[in-house]
Structure 1
Amino acid sequence: MAKNDTPDLLVKGSPDQRTLVRVPEGVFGYVGFAAYRLTDGDELPVESGDKEVCLVLLAGHATVTASHPRRGPFAWENIGDRQSVFEDKSPYAIYLPPHSEARVRAHGSAEIAVCEAPGNPDETLPPRLIEPASMRRSSRGKDANTRYVCDILPDSAEAHALLITEVITPSGHTSSYPPHRHDTDDLPAQSFLEESYYHRLNPEQGFAFQRVYTDDRSLDQAMTVENHDVVLVPRGYHPVCVPYGYTSYYLNVMAGPTRAWKFHNDPAHEWLLKL
C-alpha cells in the first residue's frame, strides 16, 4: 500500500454517546471493533453473522442472553466485577461463534467492547462465559518500560481467529516497546495480525502518544490519543508513550490468517532489551 493510500489510523471516540467508538467497515480485513456505554436497563443486540465475536464487559454489570442454531439458548445473569478498567481486576467476557444472536442488558452503567474476526461456520465451538479467574495476568518490561497485562482470549484458548489482551501502562511509562511488528505471514518467525488499540486514560482528560511506522516509512503516523480513541495497526511497529501524571489502559484485538502471535522487534531499538 502506498503512503498516500494509507487511511488515517486514529479513530476518534465520542465519550458522550452510546456508541463510544467504532472501527469503520472495510478498514481491516480481519479485525472489527466497537465500544458502547449502556445505561441502567439499556439493551445492546449483537448478531455475529459469519464472524466470531467476543463481548468484553469492560466495566459495570450486565446480563447476557444468547442463542445458537445448533447449541440452543444460553444466559449469564448479572456478570461483572469491576466499575472501571483501571481496577486491579480482570474482566468478564463472552465468546460467541458464528450465527449467534445475543442481547446485553445493563444493570446500572456498563461499558461493553464488541470484538470481531472472521469465523469458521463449520466449527462447533459453543457460546461460553470467560471468567476472570481463567485469565492470565503478568507484567512485561522493567523500570519505565513496565506494564501490566491481562490475557482475555489468548492463543491457548479456543477461538478461530480472535486474540484479545488488555494492558495497563503506568504514568510516565512506555508500552508495546521496544517497537515490534507482526505484519508478515512467515511462521514460525512471524505472524500476520491486524490489531486495534482501544485507549482509556485516567484521569480521563489525559492523553498518550502512539506511533505506527514501517521500516521503509511508507507508513509513518504519530498520533495524540485521547480517552475512548482507537488506533488502527494494519502493519508496522506501534509503540505507546504515556505522559507523567496519567495512567493508560488499552484493549488490544488482533486477528489474521493464522491464530498465532509471533512478532519481530525493530532492530534499531532491540538493544533496549539488553539493559
Structure 2
Amino acid sequence: MTADGTGFSPTIHAAKLPMRVPPELLHVRPDADGVVAADPERAGWRYLSFRAFGLQDGEVALLDRPDQEAAIVTIAGGGVEIAPDVGPTLRLEGRPSVFEGLPWSAYIPAGTTVRIIGRPLPGLRVVIAVAQAPLTGRPGVSAKPILVTPDDVEIEIRGAGNATRQINNMMMPDFPADRLLICEVFTPGGNWSGWPPHRHDFDDPPREAVLEETYFYQLSRPDGWAIQRVYHRDGSRDRLMPVRHGDLVIVDQGYHPFATTQGYDAYYLNALAGDRRTMANTDDPDLAWVRSLWPGMAQDPRLPLVGR
C-alpha cells in the first residue's frame, strides 16, 4: 500500500528520452488548411499528442481514443458543441480571437467518444486545439466530461518590467485530470516570458518533474513574428526559432524562453503531460538571479491583456 493509502504506484521516469528528433523538426508550421500537429512519434517522447485545426459551421471532428484523456480549447472564430456518446452536450461559446476573450475549454475522460461540432461566428471558421495523453491510472480523475468556462479560469500576472506576462490557468495540478496540464500565456509586445529560462527534464521532486510540452502561437497581428529558444547549458542543443501566427513548437528537452517583438502582443497555448501531476521546473542557474530584480520593478501596466 502506498503512503496515500490508494495502492496507486505510477511509473516514474527519471529523465526524458534521449534526443531522437532533429531539432529542425521541432518547429511545425501550419499546412495549407492551417493544421499543426505533433504526436509521440514526431516529438520523440512518451505521451503527449497535440493538434490545432479549424471547423466550419456544422462540420464534425470525431474524438475516439478510448485509451486517452483529452483537453479541448477554443482558440478563435467562435465556439463548438461537444457531444459525448453518453451524457449531455457541452456548449463552448468560444471567442473571436485569443485577444478578445478568456478561453472556453473542456476535459474529456478516457473511454469517452465525442463529436466536436463547429459553431463559428458568422463568416468565420472556428479554430480549436486538442491535447491528448494516455492514463497512469491515478485515483481522483474525473469519469465525466468537464466544461471549463471563463469564470473558472485563474488569471495570474507573473514577473516584472519587460518580463511581465499573463498566465490563464485552465487545467492545473489540482484539476481532476490524469496527465494533462493546460494553460495559456500572453506576452505584451517587446516583453519576455518563460524568463528566467526553465526546464522540466528530470525527476527531482519537489524541484523538478519530467514534463513534455507544446507551444501553439497566436499574434495580435498575424504578419508578425516572435522568438522561441530551446537550449541546453552545455551547448548540445541550441535552437533559435522565429515563430509566427499558427506555428507549433515541440519542447522535448531543454530551457525554453520566449520573446516577442515590439508592437506584436503574443499568445501561446501550453499543453503538458508527465508522470507526476505537478508543474515543477528549475531555472537556468546562470540566469536565475534576474528574479532578484523584480521586487524593485513595476509590473507592465498593459496587463492583463485579456480580463473578465
- Of the three residues 149, 152, 157, the one matched with 2:175 is 157
CA deviation string 1:104-129 (max 9, x = no partner):
11122211100111124686621121
| Partners of 2:60 and 2:115 within 8 A in 1 | yes
1:1-275 map, 5 Å: 6-7=22-23, 8-14=25-31, 16-17=32-33, 20-26=35-41, 27=43, 28-59=45-76, 60-67=78-85, 72-77=86-91, 79-87=92-100, 89-108=101-120, 109-120=125-136, 125-275=143-293
Shift in CA distance, 171/36, structure 1 to aligned 2, threshold 3 Å = same
Take 2:205 and 2:257, find their aligned partners in 1: how far apart are those partners?
Answer: 23
Contact kept, 8 Å, 2:39 with 2:48, in 1: the verdict is no
Distance 1:222 1:43, change over 3 A: same
Q: Which letter does structure 2 place at the counterpart of 1:270? A: A
Question: Using the alignment, how far apart are the partners of 1:3 and 1:136 within structure 2?
Answer: 34
Percentage of identical aligned residues: 34
Aligned-partner SS, 2:209: strand
Paired residues, number: 267
More strand per residue: 1
Deviations 1:138-164 (CA, angstroms, capped at 9, x unpaired): 111111111111001111111100000
- Per-residue Cα deviation, 1:172-227 (whole angstroms, up to 9, x for no partner): 00111110111111111211101100011120011110110112222211111011
TM-aligned CA deviation for residue 48 of structure 1: 2.6
Instruction: Report Cα offsets for 1:78-112 as digits up to 9, x if no partner.
Output: x214210112x321111111121111111222111
**2:155 aligned counterpart, secondary structure:** strand
| Cα distance, 1:228 vs structure 2 | 0.8
Q: Which moved more, 1:112-121 or 1:259-268?
A: 112-121
| C-alpha separation in 1, matches of 2:142 and 2:197 | 37
Q: Secondary structure at the match of 1:274?
A: helix
Moved over 6 A (4+): 1-4
1:53-102 residue CA offsets vs partner (Å, 9 max, x unmatched): 011112312211012xxxx333123x214210112x32111111112111
Secondary structure in structure 1 of the residue aligned to 2:35: strand
The verdict on how the C-alpha distance between 1:192 and 1:38 changes in structure 2, with shifts beyond 3 A counting, is same
**Are the counterparts in 2 of residues 204 and 227 from structure 1 also a CA contact under 8 Å?**
yes
176-185 vs 108-117, which moves further: 108-117
Aligned partners of 1:3 and 1:218 also within 8 Å: no
Cα distance in 2 for residues equivalent to 1:121 and 1:36: 29
Q: Give the match's secondary structure for 1:273.
A: helix
RMSD value over aligned CA atoms? 1.8
Unaligned runs of 5+ in 2: 1-16, 294-308
Specify whether residues 116 and 206 from structure 1 end up closer, same or farther in structure 2 by C-alpha distance, changes over 3 A only.
same
Distance 1:246 1:95 in 2: 31
Structure 1 residues 54 and 160, CA gap change in structure 2 (3 angstroms): same
CA contact (8 A) 1:65 1:74 kept: yes
> Alignment partner of 1:133: what SS?
helix
Change over 3 Å in CA distance of 1:201–1:119 after alignment to 2: same
Letter in 2 for 1:113: A
Structure 2: distance between partners of 1:6 and 1:236: 14
Distance 2:264 2:279 in 1: 29
Q: Which moved more, 1:22-31 or 1:128-137?
A: 22-31
